[in-house]
Amino acid sequence: MRLFPARCPVRPQEQVWIEESLDWLVREFGEPALRGQLILPTDDFFPGTYTGSVDDLRRVVEFVRRRMGVDPTTFAVELSEPDDPAPGLPGAYRTSRSAAGEYRIQNGLGVISIDIRQLARPMALVATIAHEFCHHRLLGEGRIAPDRRDHEPLTDLATIFFGFGIFAANAALQFGAGSSGWQASRLGYLTEPMFGYGLAYHAHLRDDPVAWSSHVDTNPRAYLRKGLRYLSSR
C-alpha cells in the first residue's frame, strides 16, 4: 500500500476534459495517427543548421504538413508583422488568432499566418505551425465548429496527439526581455500541468515507455511524471 497515493496533477474537470478529448481524437483520426512517430527536437528530425530564414520556415512547414497528413492543395502559409490588421478580403473569416499565429479560412482555403518574430524561436515556431495545422485538421476539415467553446485548448491537445507535444509543452511558457525587465509569456492555451498530463495520458493510450520524456522541459516533465504515476496506480 502506498503511504501517499499518487494524485493527478490537474484538477478533476481538467482531467476529465483531457481524457475525453484525447479519446475523441483517437476515434476521429484513428489508431495509426495515435501511434505515429513522436517528433523530437533533434537532428534526426530537423537536420542541418537553423538560421531563421524563410527557407527554414518552408522546410518546417513541409515537415509538419507531411507528419499530419495535410493535403498541400488545401492551405497557404504567410508571414505577418506584429499587430497586422485582419484581412478585409471577400470570402475571408478568422477562426483563430494568437500571439504567434493565425488560422483563417479564405475562399475555401485554409490560411496559416505566422508572426515573423517566431522565425527567431525554432522550438516555438514548430509548436506554432503544429498548432495552426491542427486548426486546419479540426476546423478546416469541418470536424468541429468555429464557435466550439474549447476549440483552442482542443487544438493544443491535438498537437500532442499528432506527435508534436514536446514542442508545444516546451513553448507553453516563454521568458524574454521586456520593457520592464524579464517577462514571461504564454504560447498556447493549456497550462503546463495540463500539457504534462496530456502527454502522460497520450503515452498511456500508446502504452509508451516515454524514453522521449528527457526532451520535455523541467516543469511540464514534472507534471508528466506525476501523471504517469497516477495513471499506473488507478
In this prediction, residue 172 carries a pLDDT of: 82
The share of the chain scoring above pLDDT 90, in percent, equals 74
The pLDDT confidence band at residue 4, using thresholds 50, 70 and 90, is low
pLDDT at position 182: 35
Residue 3, C-alpha cell as written in the block:
503511504
**pTM: predicted TM-score of the whole model, two decimal places:** 0.88
What pLDDT does residue 234 have?
86
The whole-angstrom separation of Cα 169 and Cα 189 is 10
**Highest mean pLDDT range out of 79-83, 112-116, 173-177?**
112-116
The answer, yes or no, to whether residue 180 has pLDDT greater than 80, is no
Query: Which uninterrupted H or E stretch holds 42?
Result: none
d(CA 90, CA 14): 39
- pLDDT-derived band at 94 (thresholds 50, 70, 90) equals very low
Domain edges within the chain: 12-233
Over residues 138-163, the mean pLDDT reads: 94
- Closest of 198, 193, 210, 122 to residue 160, by C-alpha: 198
DSSP tally for the chain: helices H, then strands E: 8, 6
pLDDT digits over 96-118, tens only?
555 578 999 998 899 999 999 88
Question: Among residues 143, 83, 71, which one has the least CA distance to residue 109?
Answer: 71
Gap between the Cα atoms of 225 and 163, Å rounded: 18
Q: How does DSSP classify residue 139? A: I
Calculate mean pLDDT across residues 196-206. 97
pLDDT, position 81: 81
What does the mean pLDDT of the chain come to? 86
